[in-house]
Chain A
Amino acid sequence: MSQRKFTRRDVLKTGAALTGAGVLQGADLALFAQAWAQSTPWKPEKGAKLQLLRWKRFVQSEEDGFVALVAAFTKATGVPVTVLNESLDDVQPKASVAANTGQGPDIFWGLYSLPHLFPAKCLDVTDVADYLGRKYGGWVPSAVTYGKSGKGWIAIPVGYNGNIINYRKSMIEKAGFKEVPKDTAAFMELMKALKAKSVAGGFALGRASGDGNAWVHWCLWAHGANLVDAKDKVVINSPETVKALEYAKQLSTHFVPGTASWNDAFNNKAFLESQVSLTNNGVSIYAAAKANAGKDPKAKEVMDDMDHSLWPVGPVGKPTEFHVAYPMLAMRYTKSPQAAKAFMAFTLEAENYNKWLLAAVAYITHPLNAYDANPVWTSDKKLTIVRDVAKRTLTAGGLGSVGEKAASALADFVILDMFASVCTDRATVKDAIAVAERQARRIYR
């Protein structure tokens, strides 16, 4: 959809919808929902019920916003929706088992390649995707990759979670830098200076499926290396991978001690306690600092002093970021396919989606271009850069397919362990690549 040329009329229409309805409240929203239910092409089946299994929230206000959205849907359509929460890692096995046995929740909302693990079991939602793409300025390219299988759409990418650089302004100034450099060579200098003259930074080298995977993939891709090529052929054994590993190894000598044990939560704690000057994370550190700024002067200091930055660009010459994607899919076995489609369409309608985006305080980034105009992106200039992460991100599997094999390689920490074993001196660059190559060959056979 991204290559669709939308007309000026489209833009005007969506723009008007956004500014006019961006923050509908109470009675207005109820009116909108009723009118929407009457005009939507997806009429829920009689007596339809939906069960939705989602990843467990990281930011409370995001979940509150989603609960409100679900309630509005039920009110408008009369379709009750039960929402189940599962930790991020558990969504995929549950969805796979449900797809296999043909029973379970109607809608699954999970990570990256989830719909591509069982494309034949996913309800075709091409009409919903086309409708939304047409109405809201088109899908970003990565959303098309995650949502489409063959000719049709098997999932609606509902949002992204940007993984970006979090840093303390005062600490990088002390190291002699005004901002986070835009290229990897200068970034190395920053990390070196931070360790030498200020407070050291660090990225997770433990088995942190979110933050750990985000930074090592950035580093791998930034140096032009890839696990597989566009045909899913394993190409990890390359001079580019050697360069990426050497860069990471040198970078890690400037890390704060102990990053090899960091999981996804360690850097949040350390950053909030001013023990680390720079790390990679979502905007949840900022959100936590902001939430406590009223009662805790230390949190206020962190909030005022911190900022976000996009990842530096490596020798490959273009951004190589890896942000989390959250696609939503309906199972083919659902008894209420129309209700499920109606729910997905309803979720991404401006009147609902804008509110939810606001509630998520930039923890979620939109997959549809029109939502660039959402007030959350201008509400706080420290959050503005997160607006573009969906457009910048590469997809799971890199150049290769986004399906089961990519998910397997991520779950097995093939790339993360390769970097960690080199950075912690457990293996030479050559041996680490050999182990990763052997594993990848097996996964991509």
Chain B
Amino acid sequence: MTGEHGRWRRLRTNRDWLGFWFMLPAAAFLLLFLVYPLGLGIWLSFTDARIGSPGNWIGLENYEWIIGDAKFQTAVFFTLLYTLVASAFKFAIGLYLALLLNQAMPFKAIIRAVVLIPFIVPTVLSAIAFWWIFDPQFSVISWSLKKLGWIQGNINFLGDAWNARWSVIFANVWRGVPFIAISLLAGLQTLPPSLYEAATLDGATRWQMFRYVTYPLLTPIIAVVMTFSVLFTFTDFQLIKVLTNGGPAGSTELMATMSYNTAILGSRIGEGSAVSTAMVPFLLAAIMFSWFGLQRRKWQHGESND
């Protein structure tokens, strides 16, 4: 009995074990809500499971099928295009806005709050607003341009494959800019003013100040923010679901919406899991890129770049 007691006391008080105990809730949380679903998803992608039947192991059959599926290929193409173009625009506009908002200007607090609005509005609501803006018959854009006499008929925003693609990318950019702008603004405000003073004394131009002071110091923040932004964009769902539901004829289908349609509405869980598992390598690549490409700069550890 004493031995048991002694061991238990050691488990309770030993510093290494104590660390383990503190980690346990977080680890259990991660295992239960992240590792398990992800593992289950990957497992299901190797089966022919349907909703209501557990399915049998079929190996890579689902992957072989989707790789040859024209609709899946279109979805991968558009998901990449959507992510790249939208992220690039979001970054450029977000950084510009952040620099602008970092200046001394009247009503600064109010303007900063206003910038956040697209981010605050629930996605589904903003999607419905865009739904009206892009309406083939009642679009406010078509109406205004017609009144100005610039166009004759209505613009076919969501009915033409490429128009629809640019339209949903535009909606995504509108929605995603505030997140980047406000995060980068927060980063800008942590930069020490002394560096700018020194740069001013050295006679640096504004561009030089941005290029050689602001940008390098902001890089770690940019890396984190853009990683998040790319991940959010890549896994976007609601905007497409409400605006086009992947139409016309699958041209705005994202991998996320395709996975949902196949697995939940089409009840082919195995195949839908394969589609969503196919997103993982892309997401990992995005994370790796930002980690190794942007963050492992030696100057962050007090050394110079090589």
Contacts and interface: CB of A to CB of B under 8 A. Distances in A.
Contacts of B266: 407-408, 411-412, 443
A395 interface: no
Given A100-B52, A205-B248, A435-B71, A257 B262 contact: no
Contacts of A99: 52
A266 B136 contact: yes
A408 B262 CA distance: 8
The DSSP consensus for interface residues of chain A is helix
Nearest to A259: B159
B198 interface: no
Contact of B268 (A259, A263, A269, A408): A408
A442 B65 CA distance: 9
Contacts, number: 132
The DSSP consensus for interface residues of chain B is loop
A205 B268 CA distance: 24
A426 B248 CA distance: 9
Interface string A424-445: 1011000000010011001100
A121 interface: yes
B65 A117 contact: no
Given A257-B154, A257-B159, A412-B261, A404 B247 contact: no
A92 interface: yes
A388 to B, nearest CB: 30
A96 interface: yes
Contact of B244 (A207, A269, A417): A207
A420 B267 contact: no
A93 B262 CA distance: 11
A36 interface: no
A261 B247 contact: yes
Interface residues of B, number: 38
Contacts of B160: 260, 424
A229 to B, nearest CB: 21
B51 to A, nearest CB: 4
B156 interface: yes
A276 B154 CA distance: 14
Interface in B232-249: 244-249
A177 to B, nearest CB: 23
Contacts of B71: 417, 435, 439
Contact of B137 (A92, A263, A275, A442): A275
A256 B262 CA distance: 31
B138 interface: yes
B50 interface: yes
B52 A207 contact: no
Interface string B83-96: 00000000000000
Nearest to B257: A207
Nearest to A98: B52
Nearest to A118: B52
Contact of B267 (A96, A205, A257, A421): A96
A121 B135 contact: no
Contacts of B158: 206, 258, 260-261
A266 B135 contact: yes
A261 B248 contact: yes
B164 interface: yes
Nearest to A421: B249
Contacts of B69: 438-439
B245 A260 contact: no
A413 B262 CA distance: 10
Given A273-B137, A442-B65, A206 B261 contact: no
A6 interface: no
Contacts of A242: none
Given A261-B247, A408-B266, A426-B249, A117 B51 contact: yes
15 contacts: A100-B51, A256-B137, A257-B154, A257-B156, A260-B158, A261-B136, A266-B135, A270-B137, A273-B138, A408-B266, A411-B261, A412-B262, A426-B249, A438-B68, A443-B268
Interface of A: 89, 92-93, 96-97, 99-100, 117-118, 121, 205-207, 256-263, 266, 269-270, 273, 275-276, 404, 407-408, 411-413, 417, 420-421, 424, 426-427, 435, 438-439, 442-443
Interface of B: 50-53, 65, 68-71, 134-138, 153-154, 156-161, 164, 244-251, 261-262, 264-268
Given A259-B159, A426-B249, 4 more contacts: A96-B267, A100-B51, A256-B136, A257-B156
